[in-house]
Chain A
Amino acid sequence: MSHFSTVKTQLRKKEFLKQALIDLGYVPNEGENLVRGYRGQTVKAEMTVEMSKGADIGFRWNPGSKSYELVTDLDLWKQSIPVERFLAQVTQRYALNTVLDSTAQEGFQVSEQKNNLDGSIELVVTRWDS
């Protein structure tokens, strides 16, 4: 049956999260690391990004929601974009990588990919079935 779905993306797979961070120009560290915050306080996270200024950014696994959550010291946020925008960028990139990987595994090929003016990404994949 053909259908139309809307999915609210959650960061569930570590490898796609890592790739998303790399795509956006960050250098993620895998494995349990410490995220540094105010006055040298730290928390543990499974994926971390050391920032040149301000607090580090980490992603911590939440067993309840079965997804990774951003952890950082917001008082020390000094990036050029607000934290919500940062998380949205990571999530969009994560979603794109996930869709590309899942559809390729099922034998689909990308026939169109474009960036819209509103910031959304459109992707069309096709497969011929004999």
Chain B
Amino acid sequence: MRDLDPYYMPQRTLRFKIRQDGRVEETVEGLVGEACINLTEKLEDALGTVERREPTSDTFLREKVQKQTIPAEIH
């Protein structure tokens, strides 16, 4: 994967929207492989069951430019 370029210092960004009823929407950007799974598992352990999971569009990006806005809402 080109994301794993050793000279590239990526910024990992997590976006959360915690709704009034306590539902949590989480968008993970730029985390690859194990780091992504570790953090998510830790969160799920304390938070609860994931109702839905879908890849964000940056998963499909071939370039490492990830400065796009990903909608943090599902309606």
Contact = CB atoms under 8 A, between A and B. Distances in A.
A120 B18 contact: yes
B25 to A, nearest CB: 5
Contact of A7 (B12, B14, B51): B51
A75 interface: no
B14 A124 contact: yes
A108 interface: yes
A5 B49 contact: no
Nearest to A115: B18
Give the size range of B's interface with the partner.
35 or more
Interface in A9-46: 9-10, 12-13, 16
Interface residues of A, number: 41
Nearest to B54: A4
Contacts of B54: 3-4
* Residue of A1, A106, A119, A126 ringed by the most chain B CB atoms within 10 A: A1
Contacts of B22: 8-9, 88, 91-92, 94-95
The 5 A-B pairs of least Cβ separation, nearest first, read: A91-B22, A10-B48, A119-B20, A9-B22, A123-B16
Interface of B: 9-33, 35-36, 38-40, 42-56, 58-59, 70, 72, 74
Interface of A: 1-10, 12-13, 16, 67, 88, 91-92, 94-96, 98-99, 101-103, 105-106, 108, 118-130
